[in-house]
Structure 1
Amino acid sequence: MTDRVMLPDSLLTQESRVFAAPPKLAAIYDAYSWAAHSLKARAWLQAAFVFNLILMPFDYLIEPSLLTATLVIRGIIASAILIGLYMLWGRQRPNWVQGATLTVLAATIMLEAGALGALGGVPLFERYLTAGLFTFATAILFFPIEFRWTVTAVATAVALHAGMIIIGPVADPLLALGISCFYSGAILTFATTRKATLRSQWKGFRSKIRELRDQEALAKLFAELQLVANLDPLTGIQNRRSTQEDIDRIWSSTAGDRPPIAFLMIDIDDFKNLNDSLGHAAGDECIKTVANKIRDAVRDGDIVSRYGGEEFLVVLTSTTASGALAVAERIRKSIASLRLENPGSPTASRVTVSIGLALWEGDQTPEMLIGRADAALYLAKHKGKNQTVIAPPPDGVGARSGPAKTHPSGKHPAKKQSPRSVA
């Protein structure tokens, strides 16, 4: 419904009419107007049916000789037509069917009034025709049909009124015709009012559609901006801020029943030397290539983010120690196999990465887990790069010693049991 081909701005902002709208939009408007206004037409038909029955004893009181005629004309014929039209408006019909119902109603009302008026004699004839004309005038305001069908129904009612004045029992045909023209002008005023109402409804519908379309466009733009705000512009993977939000969401939603989680801190070895040797353009290309390799090596539900300049954080959810190590090694080996040149590296002529791996154990916060992974990454660098080091569990968990920590001087202190490394 918000297709810009179907809903061009010219149609939604400029003055237009229903018949000028694309078929799909016209169909939507028909369904909209039907739901909003069909109850009015059915209410009028129901009221007309009841009023028709009330007029039967009125006919008899005015002219007792009309008893049989009113029973047949009002009680059977007109009532059957009104019930049929009421049932027809029970569900949406094509526009021409809706329009034809008002024409049928005009003919029914005028022929009923003319027949009973003629049988009642000269005094009743003109009164009944006039009453019939104004009864039909009220129907114009309640039937939500196209203006051309309203004009057709009005023409039918006016023609029947004038025709019966000419051939019916009237004292002064010319005077009666003059009065008929006066009443016809009033009916046309009702029809013009109905036209203005229809135009107002169409304008309101277009405004509503334009509002919905603009809201959808704004929501789409907001989603795109939100996506851009969550991504690293160079690599297209998540940035540090959005990753932190995801980690916080994981920790809050799985508190007390958290599946095994592993953090990988990944850093490109000797990246500064590569930048200095080949330039920043080559450095950017290297970061993008490494990011793609990391993303390809993990599952869809895992988190891959650019944590710093050449540093990446990977969050592996619902994993095991062996599974996390397998992912880390897959990442490391796939990058080493790229054969990217790194002439500034004192240890390798190709681009490699070092990885620190930390498993969630005990009552740890994300910050503590990142700290352990970062300490393991430092040790991987210290031990010669291009390897994965697994951080030991935190103090008080398991039999192994506490996590690796950096010394204030920048040197890693000696440990009785250092983190394990896989090269």
Structure 2
Amino acid sequence: MERRSSRYVALDGLDAAGREKLLAELDAVLACRVRDISLTGRLREIYRAASWRHRSRTIRFWLLWVSVFSAVTCLIDYVMHPPLLGVSLALRSVFIPVFYAVLAWIWVRPRASWIEGVTLPLTVAAMMLVAELLGSAGGGALHERYLMGGLFATSTAIVVFPIERVWSIAGTVVVIGLFLMFGLMNPNVDAKVPILETTFFTFVIGCLVPARQAMNTVLAHAYLLSLRKRILTEALAAANARLAVLADTDGLTGLPNRRAFQGRLARDWAEQAARSGTIGAILIDVDHFKRFNDSAGHAAGDRCLVAVAAAIRATMPDGALAARYGGEEFVAVVPGTRPRDDRQADPLRRRRPRAAPSGLLRRPLRDGERRNRARTRRGRCIRGGGAPAVRRCSPLRGQGSGTRQRGRRLGHEGRARRDGRRPRRLRRQPGPSRVRARAKPVPTDEGRLPERAQVL
């Protein structure tokens, strides 16, 4: 997983705008045909950094394999010509392994493009030099055989080395040039033979350069596709994460919504049940909020809910979750709370919102109008005015029994609509100050009835 992610390390320092710009560059390059893909600028540097590990492993493995094979071929040199054993051991078992070890060291870490590219000409030059020395020491037909063997071994390097086109061409020129020069230096062969052989192998090895570059183009195209897919996948994951947060968050108060609360309650319930623990729930309902919302306005009602949510959030202990259950109802889940343990609810009842928005009610009162209060079920209320406060409230003072009865009816109808029931009208009951009744006539001691009896 670490190696896979290292190919996309270039994305770590880019923000959303930078990724959008990079995605536009990728789309522009991928819009053309695969054979016409040419990486320049930032895309070229990104691909070189991402593909360095693969290129380094490929080249170092080839150098190691050729070094081992060169040491083994000393036995072949001894069988072909025993006097060559000493020279073969010096060149194949010492010079080639040491020189190729130096070239492999260059690929231990990323280096400049020209330093990495020059390793191919040096590799093929060393191989052709060893072939020339062994052929000159053997003489006769061995000279041409060793040159042919060196040319075949170096052609594999041209195909295997995943480097830029200019350095592949440079390696091919070095191989063909050394083959022609060493062939002309052989006095036992006519000059026409090396020239004809060089011409032939020029066409053969020349075909290897486009093949290597086609492989490089395919690899670059595959990486660009994977990079584009990685950018789109991460963008989709970020969008899904934002959607998940929005789906579990109440847009007004910023608290988790009912969906998030139900998921958290199910998880905490299962966790506490597994270890025989306890879990507590606190239900908070703002009384008379509908009247407050209708009289003060929906904007003031929203600010009231925000202030209540801020007060609830500030009192929640670590590990607890407060959420908006719906409308003016809030709920909190507190794991580890024992039954009838009211310690978690006491701070909530005594809480005063320190950061509540000022000016909760800005509309001036009309003549004879009284300020409405949004009261919580436990007697705490948030009242409007210059500075909102939370305090213990008594029933609405200064209003007659008709107002209280109307409030009871409105509260009943609101709860009925919320529960999906048909509301019923409450029978109006007169206040005690207006209750007057006539008593039945009661005989007196004198045997006559009083004109009227009043029962208070």
TM over 0.5: yes
Number of the residue aligned with 2:50:
29
Number of the residue aligned with 1:73:
91
Deviations 1:91-150 (A, max 9, x none): 334144432322221111111112222333342323322221111011223223333322
Number of the residue aligned with 1:8:
22
Number of the residue aligned with 2:395:
384
Q: Is the 8 A contact 2:283 2:329 kept in 1?
A: no
Q: Is the 8 A contact 1:40 1:143 kept in 2?
A: yes
Number of the residue aligned with 1:352:
374
The yes-or-no answer on 1:135 pairing with 2:157 is: no
TM-score, structure 2 as length reference: 0.68
Post-superposition shift, 1:212? 1.9
Post-superposition shift, 1:183? 0.5
User: How many residues are matched?
Assistant: 361
Name stretches of at least 5 consecutive residues in structure 2 with no aligned partner: 1-8, 31-36, 380-391, 398-422, 427-456
Number of the residue aligned with 2:258:
240
Number of the residue aligned with 1:182:
200
Q: Is the 8 A contact 1:332 1:352 kept in 2?
A: no
Q: Is the 8 A contact 1:297 1:331 kept in 2?
A: no
Q: How far, CA to CA, are the matches of 1:226 and 1:70 in structure 2?
A: 71
Post-superposition shift, 1:177? 1.2
Name stretches of at least 5 consecutive residues in structure 1 with no aligned partner: 358-379, 387-407, 412-423
Q: How far, CA to CA, are the matches of 2:56 and 2:354 in structure 1?
A: 71
Q: How far, CA to CA, are the matches of 1:337 and 1:138 in structure 2?
A: 80
Structure with larger RCO (C-alpha < 8 A, sep 6+): 1
**Which range moves more in the overlay, 203-212 or 71-80?**
71-80
Q: Percent identity?
A: 29
**Which range moves more in the overlay, 22-31 or 204-213?**
22-31
Q: How far, CA to CA, are the matches of 1:106 and 1:286 in structure 2?
A: 82
Post-superposition shift, 1:164? 1.9
The yes-or-no answer on 1:61 pairing with 2:82 is: no
Post-superposition shift, 1:217? 1.3
The yes-or-no answer on 1:201 pairing with 2:219 is: yes
Number of the residue aligned with 2:435:
none
Number of the residue aligned with 2:285:
266
The yes-or-no answer on 1:92 pairing with 2:109 is: yes
SS at match of 1:8: helix
SS at match of 2:202: helix
Q: How far, CA to CA, are the matches of 2:171 and 2:259 in structure 1?
A: 68
In structure 1, what residue type is equivalent to 2:192? L
Q: Is the 8 A contact 2:26 2:224 kept in 1?
A: yes
Q: How far, CA to CA, are the matches of 1:216 and 1:336 in structure 2?
A: 38
Q: How far, CA to CA, are the matches of 2:270 and 2:173 in structure 1?
A: 73
Q: How far, CA to CA, are the matches of 1:182 and 1:290 in structure 2?
A: 90
Post-superposition shift, 1:178? 2.4
Post-superposition shift, 1:251? 1.2
The yes-or-no answer on 1:322 pairing with 2:347 is: no
Q: How far, CA to CA, are the matches of 2:143 and 2:331 in structure 1?
A: 94
- Show the 5 A alignment for 1:109-120: 109-120=127-138
| Dislocated runs of 4+, deviation >6 Å | 332-338, 341-344, 408-411
SS at match of 1:349: coil
RMSD between superposed Cα atoms in Å: 3.6
Post-superposition shift, 1:246? 1.1
**Which range moves more in the overlay, 105-114 or 234-243?**
234-243
Aligned in 2, Cα 1:338/1:24: closer, same or farther, shift over 3 Å?
Answer: farther
Q: How far, CA to CA, are the matches of 2:314 and 2:26 in structure 1?
A: 46
Q: Is the 8 A contact 2:77 2:88 kept in 1?
A: yes
Q: How far, CA to CA, are the matches of 1:122 and 1:210 in structure 2?
A: 59
Structure ID, larger Rg: 2
Post-superposition shift, 1:260? 6.1
Aligned in 2, Cα 1:336/1:228: closer, same or farther, shift over 3 Å?
Answer: closer
Number of the residue aligned with 1:167:
185
